[in-house]
Amino acid sequence: MNYIYLTQDILEKIKTYREKFPLKEQAIIPSLHEILEKYRDIPEKALEELSDYLSVPLADIEGIVSFYDMFRYKKNARNHIRICRNLPCHLAKYHNILEMIKEKTGADVGKNSPDGKWYIELVECIGSCGIAPAFLINNDLYDGSKIKTDEDLKKILDKYE
Ligand code: FES
């Protein structure tokens, strides 16, 4: 198969995920993040290419894309923060992280910050319940339980300024 969406840079990253995880299915989610990062969307054809490259059924990949909100992407600010609100993250008090992020960025759920730098979205499980409350900034995953102070959060946000 000739790949159009899986460009060389994406393929190299997918290859590292494939080598990192014992099961090829475990490479699906990080690979989808790479596609999302590049195209700001998940093109249908890219799913076929990913299915071919990883040798996993297309239906399995489509199932993941339709299950996780994070793959229904709508980036409208420079940085997209996705905070998980499902039960394990709820029990781990994701709303504390949300409030801190809102205060620091000036953005709100579903709304850009006035400076256009930040957009916050509450999403369903992002497959990282082991580090609840989990959140993503663009493609980077964070363990919210490690953020205890405003300064901890500032250090993270500063990386995206
Ligand atoms: S419930 Fe939050 S990452 Fe799974």
Q: Is the CB of 142 under 6 A from ligand 1?
A: no
The pLDDT value recorded for residue 30 is: 94
Q: Is the CB of 89 under 6 A from ligand 1?
A: yes
Instruction: Identify which of 133, 128, 135, 109 has the alpha carbon closest to the alpha carbon of residue 120.
Output: 109
pLDDT digit string (tens) for the chain, length 161 residues:
899 999 999 999 999 999 999 999 999 999 999 998 887 777 888 999 999 999 999 999 988 887 886 775 445 578 989 999 999 999 999 999 999 999 999 998 877 788 888 988 888 899 899 999 999 998 899 999 999 999 999 999 999 98
pTM metric for this prediction: 0.58
Q: Say whether the peptide bond before residue 43 is cis (omega within 30 degrees of 0).
A: no
Measure the CA angle with vertex 23, ends 125 and 92; round to 5°: 25
Structure tokens at 62: 């489509």
Ligand 1 centroid, distance to 85 Cα (angstroms): 7
